[in-house]
Homo-oligomer: A and B are copies of this chain.
Amino acid sequence: MNQVKAYGTHAADAPLAPLEIERRTLRADDVAIDIMYCGVCHSDLHIAQNDWGTTRYPLVPGHEIVGKVTHVGNDVTRFAPGDLVGVGCMVDSCRSCQACAEGVEQYCLNGVTMTYGNDDRHDGSMTQGGYSTDIVVSEAFVLRMPDGIELSSAAPILCAGITTYSPLRHHGVGKGHKVGVIGMGGLGHMGVKLARALGAEVTVFTRSDAKVAEAKSNGADHVVVSSDDAQMAAVAETFDFMLDTVPVPHDVNPYLAALKYDGTHILVGLIGPVDPPIGGGNLIGKRRMIAGSLIGGIAETQELLEFCAEHGITCDVEMLDIRNINEAYERMQKGDVRYRFVIDMATLNGAA
């Protein structure tokens, strides 16, 4: 066991503060990682504040982790000290069920082990995330950072990126497809870049005129102001896919109407109710579908990292000193970040 520095919280209503946590002694398949950067995801905030009612404390969030391998267990074959690596939302799964066999460990039939707040499958200790100097993870859940990728801005690829890439790939989005992206935040801006790189023609839907220029500067081919009925009517039945990244309840019916027959509306952000309710006729009348998707598998995440390196895709980030994490959470809640905070973990050494 090693005591390592971290930033975490002891209660739903407590601010994040320095604390020390234990990282396990390496098992045979483990990789020890010196964390360089960690992205800040909206789920970090939800779970720190116990918004979903399942949080145990103390808790160290963080699941967009980039760092350097320092040590490896005896059976590790794929990584060596000095390698640049990443860890995303998952650190383990049963590895034997159908979902694991298919490479969709996030749907593990025996329950995936998330990077923080879950019980380790072997020793029962609670997993702790990447707001920390170090982490120890089985090599099966460690990603290789491709040569030349900019490490700090690549960190959010491990959650925001894969969450949008996985459904685009699963549903076969590519050249000739028209894709709408709803919501221009951490997920949405990655969705625009990835859908375009996959060959699709991308339209951003935004509620206000004020965001039109911003959406175009993010690479959108077109922008539709969704509060403008005439603009919405003009795009009726023209889209193959909608990538809906909005995390709060909203009316999906106007977006369904913008889908062609056989079009698919993909939810990646909305855990709560789809309210107002979907009109059944909006699905039936044109054989449309609503699909959900959760992050992505390990092999697919590795594929995405290579894809991003090849296409020069990174996340737009604002670098963060970990001592400002509570202020960053406040700004995230107001939507005041373009588009992802990434903690420079070097700041943690001066923090405690």
Contact = CB atoms under 8 A, between A and B. Distances in A.
Interface in A290-314: 290-294
A290 B287 contact: no
A271 B290 contact: no
A273 B278 CA distance: 6
A350 interface: no
Contacts of A278: 273-274, 277-278, 290
A275 interface: yes
A326 B289 CA distance: 37
Contacts of A280: 267, 269-274, 292
Question: Which has the most chain B C-beta neighbours within 10 Å: A249, A272, A291?
Answer: A291
Given A99-B261, A261-B99, A284 B279 contact: no
A285 B249 CA distance: 17
Contacts of A268: 284
B293 A290 contact: no
Given A107-B287, A170-B287, A261-B104, A273 B267 contact: no
A286 interface: yes
Copies assembled: 2
A200 B277 CA distance: 31
B292 A287 contact: yes
A66 B104 CA distance: 49
Given A261-B99, A278-B274, A283 B291 contact: yes
B288 A291 contact: yes
A107 B286 contact: yes
Given A279-B272, A284-B267, A107 B261 contact: yes
Classify chain A's interface size. Answer: 35 or more
A176 interface: no
A294 B261 CA distance: 11
A104 B287 contact: yes
Nearest to A166: B287
Interface in A213-229: none
A279 B278 CA distance: 11
A291 B288 CA distance: 6
Given A275-B277, A280-B273, A281-B271, A289 B289 contact: yes
A107 B262 CA distance: 9
A273 B252 CA distance: 12
Interface in A95-113: 99, 104, 107, 109
Given A287-B291, A291-B288, A291-B289, A272 B281 contact: yes
9 closest A-B pairs (Cβ-Cβ)? Answer: A283-B292, A284-B292, A270-B280, A107-B261, A273-B277, A275-B277, A271-B281, A289-B291, A274-B278
17 contacts: A104-B261, A104-B287, A170-B287, A267-B280, A268-B284, A271-B280, A273-B277, A274-B274, A274-B279, A278-B278, A283-B291, A284-B292, A286-B292, A286-B294, A287-B292, A289-B290, A289-B292
Given A271-B279, A285-B292, 15 more contacts: A107-B286, A109-B261, A170-B287, A267-B280, A271-B284, A272-B279, A273-B276, A274-B279, A277-B277, A283-B290, A285-B294, A286-B292, A287-B292, A288-B291, A289-B290
